[in-house]
Amino acid sequence: GPTTFRIDAGNTSVTCGDGQRVLDALLRQGVWIPNSCNQGTCGTCKVRVIDGMVTAPPTPDSVLSDAEQQQGYVLSCQSTPITDIAVEPPAAECGERHHLLRDVAGTVGSITAVADDTVSITVSLDEPFEFTAGQYVELSIPGTGQTRPYSMANPPSESATLEFHVRRQPDGLATDRWIFDSLTVGAAVSMTGPWGDFCHQPGEPDVGLILLAGGTGLAPLKSIARAALDADPDREIHVYHGVRTEAELYDVDFWRALETGHPNVRYTPCLSREEWSGRTGYVGDAMMADFDSCRNHSAYLCGPPAMVEAGVRALKRRRMPPRRIKREKYTPAA
Ligand code: FAD
């Protein structure tokens, strides 16, 4: 059979290699569709195939309902064409410019233990890389054919060197068995990116930002905070960082310095499993204690799924309009 297929998407058509995912082909060739986890768990990238056929692993009903499957909807991040196909033209969602997905090569510049089981890694890139604050890359795990998503913590204005925050997952393929085990300074790493629609939107500059992070979910929020302050040093930003114990806290000096340099930045670390001199409990509860209303703010949340869901509930209880709530869940790979 042929080694490439054609994907028609309204006025545009792109080429898809044998075994290439539909989402990957579209994003590389300038057709933007909303996407988030790239691992078949969130459902954001669903598209309707109106002609031709794709193959994909079975999708849970919670991600793609029977009715949707019968109408031809598929997860573009999991589907590979087996004939030429046509998909319903995607509606360009958030009017801003998107960056082409591509392969990126780099070299590890530093690996720093910043807290219990947490490292900060810098990777210098061979070529400039464009992304929007909040987005992530898929790191290739050498020798496995597998990838894992990690968010950039640096702002797009400093993209020659990417910064990542990685937490060890016991027995984890990417973390325990590669990054924490054998990755060294000077090692070559390959990745694809940028992925995701957890994107800082510079619009509504008068609206204060509430950033809710759990663990290494702090990474994209650091990028977003820095990008927002680059645009407006007086921007109102409230960052809540939730971890279990003080030994898991990191980047405290960075956020304290940001508070000192910017009058409207406030940083609130919260410990959920330990008493200390600072705040205790979950980030959503801490935020609710500080705000009577979030009607005039917007929010970005990132971290473990349960933390993100609890944070969204807290913001809604404080009357934040749902369209101003952006979230990224660090769902484990299936
Ligand atoms: P795996 O080999 O995938 O997992 C090993 C075992 O642990 C499996 O049984 C698995 O189900 C279980 N497991 C894995 N993760 C968890 C968990 N969180 N809770 C409970 N059980 C788990 N992580 C970061 O540290 N920094 C980031 O910037 C970051 N960005 C991400 C961005 C996106 C969009 C997503 C979806 C995830 C992100 N993650 C991030 C999570 C990361 O991609 C990996 O899932 C994580 O590092 C574990 O990978 P692993 O290969 O070490 O473990």
**3-state class of 172 per DSSP?**
coil
Tell me the pairing of strands 4-9 and 12-17.
Answer: antiparallel
Is 238 strand, coil or helix?
strand
pLDDT score, position 187: 98
The pLDDT tens digits of the residues spanning 158-191 come to: 999 999 999 999 999 999 999 999 999 999 999 9
Mean pLDDT of 208-230: 97
Residue pointed to by tokens 């027995």: 171
> Alpha-carbon distance 80 to 305, whole Å?
28
162-176, 201-215, 317-331: which has the minimum mean pLDDT?
A: 201-215
pLDDT digits (tens, 9 = 90+) for 295-317: 999 999 999 999 999 999 999 99
Question: Which one, of 20, 144, 38, 166, lies nearest residue 85 by Cα?
Answer: 20
- The percent of residues above 70 in pLDDT, for the chain, comes to 97
Nearest to residue 119, comparing CAs of 82, 62, 173, 163? Answer: 163
What is the number of the ligand 1 atom nearest to the C-alpha of 149?
Answer: 43
Indicate the residue type of 269.
P
> Token pair for residue 74?
């598929």
Query: In which band, very low, low, confident or very high, does the pLDDT at 70 lie, cut at 50, 70 and 90?
Result: very high
Residue 150 CB–ligand 1 contact under 6 Å: yes
Q: What is the pLDDT of residue 2?
A: 62
Kindly indicate the confidence band of residue 94, based on its pLDDT and cuts at 50, 70 and 90.
very low
Q: What is the pTM of this model?
A: 0.95
- Within 13 Å and on the Cβ side, how many CA atoms surround 257? 6
pLDDT at residue 202, as a whole number = 79
What is the pLDDT, as a whole number, of residue 130? 95
Q: How confident is the model at residue 95 (pLDDT cuts 50, 70, 90)?
A: very low
Instruction: Please report which confidence band the pLDDT of residue 1 belongs to, taking 50, 70 and 90 as the band edges.
Output: low
Cβ atoms 145, 234 nearer than 8 A: no
Cβ–ligand 1 contact at 216 (below 6 Å)? yes
Can you give the length of the chain in residues? 334
Average pLDDT rounded to a whole number, residues 200-223: 92
Alpha carbon of 314 to those of 128, 143, 300: distances in Å?
Answer: 39, 43, 13
276 C-alpha to ligand 1 centroid (Å): 28
Residue 165 has a pLDDT of 98
Q: Is residue 182 classed as helix, strand or coil in its secondary structure? A: coil
Q: What are phi and psi of 145, to 5 degrees?
A: 70, 5
User: Three-state DSSP class for 189?
Assistant: strand
Give the separation between CA 92 and CA 42, rounded to whole angstroms.
19
Higher pLDDT among residues 6 and 89, named by residue: 6
Strand 188-195 to 208-214 pairing: unpaired
* CB 47, CB 85: distance < 8 Å: no
Instruction: Output the pLDDT for position 93.
Output: 45
Task: Provide the strand spans (E) within 84-145.
Answer: 85-87, 102-115, 118-125, 136-141
Mean pLDDT of 261-266: 97
Residue whose CB lies within 8 A of the most ligand 1 atoms, among 123, 150, 328, for a mutation test: 150
141 Cα nearest atom in ligand 1: 51
User: What value does the mean pLDDT of the chain take?
Assistant: 95
